[in-house]
Amino acid sequence: MGLPFTEKGPESHFLEMTGLGIFNAGHSRKASNLMELRGAGAAPDISFFDYRYTTGGGKNSHTHAFTLALFDFKTPRVPAFELKPENFIYKIGELIGFKDIDIPSSRLFSDKYRLTGPNEAEVLAFFNSGAVAYFEQHLGWQAQGAGNYLLLTRGARLTRPEDYNTFILEAKNMAAALVR
């Protein structure tokens, strides 16, 4: 694909300092299979890599594995937020008082995704109509944001090598739709 590759991923201390929740979840965290695209000028630096962490212990442990696209925009332009596909557990949570940010102009987006963040006004301003439409057309993506960083993943799974080009293209298009 013409990108520099290393079997080792980004350093743990760097990932933890991004402010993105996934990098502080669980234990036994490990990043691997790093490919990087350095942006010139105002273009973001992009890192594509596999990431794993474990929750629980012993017979009750579960390892979560993802292929991630991490965008560093070099200056703060991304509000703190988390976007996940909506599921039954989240819907029950809403009934007992857990809050999710809905996009007033898009019932489909609000039905398919759970969007949270500490500053609702900033999150709503960030999710412009183009970004909302892109997520509606590409269901199943997850995203997190904080300051300089935007993280995208296509669900809780690793991307197969034959699907990597598509993953890279979709992640870049999705980031472009969000950060205009």
Question: Which H or E run includes 177?
Answer: helix 164-178
Q: Tens of pLDDT along 40-92?
A: 888 899 999 999 999 999 999 999 999 999 999 999 999 999 999 886 555 55
Residue partners of 89: CB distance under 8 A and separation at least 6: none
Confidence bin at 17 (pLDDT 50/70/90): very high
Angle at 26 between CA 24 and CA 29, to 5 degrees: 75
Predicted confidence at residue 61, as pLDDT, reads: 94
Predicted confidence at residue 165, as pLDDT, reads: 94
Q: Which two tokens stand for residue 12?
A: 């743990």
Predicted confidence at residue 42, as pLDDT, reads: 80
- Measured distance CA(146)–CA(139) in Å, rounded: 22
Predicted confidence at residue 180, as pLDDT, reads: 73
- Measured distance CA(61)–CA(55) in Å, rounded: 6
Predicted confidence at residue 39, as pLDDT, reads: 86
Confidence bin at 94 (pLDDT 50/70/90): low
Q: Quick one: how many helices (H) and strands (E) in the chain?
A: 6, 8
Q: How many residues are recorded in the chain?
A: 180
Predicted confidence at residue 155, as pLDDT, reads: 82
Put simply, whether the predicted model's pTM sits higher than 0.75 gets the answer yes
Q: Which residues pair with 50 in a beta bridge?
A: 32, 67
Task: Say if residue 15's pLDDT is above 80.
Answer: yes
Regarding predicted confidence, which is higher, 90 or 105? 105
Q: Is 146 helix (H, G, I), strand (E, B) or coil?
A: strand
Predicted confidence at residue 29, as pLDDT, reads: 96
Angle at 67 between CA 64 and CA 68, to 5 degrees: 110
Positive or negative, the CA dihedral 98, 104, 110, 113 is negative
Over the chain, what is the mean pLDDT? 90
Whole-number Cα distances in Å, 163 to 31, 150, 169: 19, 21, 10
Mean pLDDT for the stretch of residues 114-141: 92
Task: Say if residue 118's pLDDT is above 60.
Answer: yes
Mean pLDDT for the stretch of residues 138-158: 93
